[in-house]
């Protein structure tokens, strides 16, 4: 069965996380993603944080499934000629080099559009290609700091806090995937490609929009509020048995759910208590109410609390650690945690495709070894015969 993006060829010239996250999701959805790497070393993520001497790092593996690897040395004339042939037969190029890197090689948007007017040129940068900060480089914490995320994360008595989930890197990648899909759709009508740009700061700002709304509502910078969500009580984390560092649940009860919470607590009479009868009263007396909830949760495991509240229709989630996520039966049933076998490592666990299309099922395939598909791609896209490919390899072109 064809997948949603079957027939779309993407040249992935990205490294580390933001770009590879984008191209991997497109590969999951059926695009032919060709990871173009330098012959010596390839994506720096292959060796960054390497935990096994003779294997690519897990950091690389979790971001580069469902791709093929082509090595080309773009600093050679022969490598540039081959690259032009590849571009002529491709739909999308995705890059996240430092500002101006591809332009200096002669492969900016204007130059490649002359080779292939239908090409979609997708650019990921820390601060974009224009604006006062466009020449600056960025990493995940920088994007979070500049996008406002750190200022509203953490507890008020502590400094602004970095959010470990990669909203700046993978978040940017997901925004770029949307932009690429939009450009592909528009190309059907116009016949033309275009440049698609997403900056890490822009992506973080988009994800912080609710706090920006609240700044305008209240006329001041939003404070850090820890784990409290809004002014509903219960609406924060509560400790559970046996009391380990991650033995917590997050419990959030909308106003209409308060009677259900009281019933699960075994104290339905709390709904008639003047201290807790209204949203405002529960907020004003949140210290007392949180103490009542905590006394109940401390006697139960986090998953028991989650089940009891969930069965009552109250949103509640166990604060699962990373090992619990990897072993979660629900995630495994949804193929969000899958096993993959890699030649130099053996079996490891990775994250599957979060997008479920009924007519486009996803099978996660292992990431490519460096240059694994070079010969077959040179032959199919550039007409390079095996003997010539051998010569190019000896000359350091591939």
CA–CA dist 118, 123 (Å, integer): 16
The span from the CA of 284 to the CA of 5, in Å, is: 53
Q: Report the C-alpha gap between 352 and 155 in whole angstroms.
A: 33
Distance (Å, rounded) from C-alpha 346 to C-alpha 344? Answer: 6
Residues 122 and 179 sit within 8 Å (Cβ to Cβ): yes
CA 121 – CA 307 distance, rounded (Å): 47
- What are the residues whose beta carbons fall under 8 Å from the beta carbon of 206, sequence distance 6 or more? 175
Q: What is the DSSP letter of 369?
A: P
Q: Among candidates 99, 34, 103, 44, which has minimal Cα distance to 72?
A: 34
- CA 43 – CA 231 distance, rounded (Å): 46
Please report which helix (H) or strand (E) contains residue 92, including its range: strand 92-95
For residue 296, count CB atoms less than 10 angstroms from its CB and return exposed for 0-12, middle for 13-18, buried for 19 or more.
middle
Choose among 293, 291, 225, 287: nearest CA to 257.
293
Positions annotated as catalytic residues are 169
Is the link from the previous residue into 334 a cis peptide, with omega within 30 of 0? no
């Amino acid at each position: 069965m064809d997948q949603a993006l079957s027939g779309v060829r993407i040249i992935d010239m990205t490294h580390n996380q933001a770009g590879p996250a984008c191209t991997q999701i497109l590969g999951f959805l059926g695009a032919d993603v060709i990871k173009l790497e330098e012959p010596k070393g390839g994506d720096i993520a292959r060796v960054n944080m390497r935990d096994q001497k003779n294997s690519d790092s897990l950091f690389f593996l979790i971001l580069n499934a469902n791709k093929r690897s082509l090595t080309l040395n773009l600093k050679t004339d022969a490598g540039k000629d081959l690259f032009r042939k590849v571009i002529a037969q491709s739909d999308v190029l995705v890059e996240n080099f430092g500002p101006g890197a591809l332009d200096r090689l002669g492969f900016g948007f204007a130059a490649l559009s002359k080779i292939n007017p239908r090409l979609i040129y997708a650019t990921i940068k820390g601060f974009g290609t224009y604006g006062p900060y466009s020449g600056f480089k960025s990493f995940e914490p920088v994007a979070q700091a500049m996008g406002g995320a750190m200022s509203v994360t953490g507890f008020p008595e502590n400094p602004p806090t970095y959010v470990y989930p990669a909203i700046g890197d993978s978040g940017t990648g997901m925004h770029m995937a949307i932009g690429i899909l939009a450009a592909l759709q528009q190309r059907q009508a116009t016949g033309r490609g275009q440049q698609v740009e997403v900056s890490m700061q822009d992506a973080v700002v988009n994800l912080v929009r609710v706090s920006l709304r609240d700044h305008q509502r209240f006329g001041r910078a939003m404070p850090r509020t820890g784990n409290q969500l809004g002014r509903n009580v219960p609406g924060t984390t509560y400790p559970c048995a046996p009391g380990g560092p991650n033995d917590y649940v997050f419990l959030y009860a909308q106003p209409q759910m308060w009677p259900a919470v009281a019933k699960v607590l075994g104290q339905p009479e709390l709904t008639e208590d003047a201290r807790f009868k209204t949203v405002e009263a529960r907020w004003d007396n949140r210290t007392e109410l949180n103490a009542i909830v905590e006394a109940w949760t401390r006697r139960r495991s986090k998953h028991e609390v989650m089940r009891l509240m969930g069965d009552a229709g109250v949103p509640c989630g166990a604060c699962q650690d990373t090992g619990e996520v990897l072993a979660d039966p629900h995630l495994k049933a949804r193929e969000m945690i899958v096993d993959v076998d890699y030649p130099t490592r053996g079996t490891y666990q990775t994250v599957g495709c979060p997008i479920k299309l009924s007519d486009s099922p996803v099978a996660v395939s292992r990431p490519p070894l460096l240059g694994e598909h070079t010969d077959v791609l040179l032959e199919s896209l550039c007409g390079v015969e095996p003997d010539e490919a051998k010569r190019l390899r000896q000359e350091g072109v591939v």
